[in-house]
Amino acid sequence: MEKATFGAGCFWGVEAAFRRIKGVKATAVGYSGGTTVNPTYEDVCSGTTGHAEVVSVDFDPAEVSYEELLDVFWQIHDPTTLNRQGPDVGSQYRSAVFFHGPKQQAAAAKARLEKASAFPGPIVTEITPASEFFMAEDYHQQYEEKRRKRLF
């Protein structure tokens, strides 16, 4: 089992996209890349903690490669907008790959270069070592699935 961590805007939809991938064994939404220990959603939304909303992905590399997860990451958001995804604005919504080891770092850097011509502007995705992951509150976990169940 390996771990991947991605920031691509509001973590609700990002988590839902990764949960659909064969080989993804578990996901969790939370906060990474900041300075506050155990931040709350309100703390992160204030923009003062430095955290990004992220999805932690546990995956089986025998079923899905890290490169395939990166492909999904590039497809589900706009990596050319700084601190914004759709209507969500703030550094917590930044595009980020938090890599776990040198192989992931190399793969993310290579993918970023390869994807550069596919977007209308320069890619602003940060590629940085994984920092401590703080789990978001329970009501954020698998939010899209919970919401769909309430609607039907």
Phi, psi (degrees; rounded to nearest 5) at 3? -120, 145
Place of tokens 């290579």: 110
45 classed as catalytic: no
Spot the catalytic one: 5, 6, 8, 10. Answer: 10
Burial of 35 (0-12, 13-18, 19+ CB in 10 A): exposed
What lies within 8 Å, CB to CB, of 54 at 6+ separation is 5, 6, 7, 11, 29, 30, 31, 32, 33, 96, 98, 133
Q: 107 near 70, Cβ under 8 Å?
A: yes
Q: Which residues does the annotation mark as catalytic?
A: 10
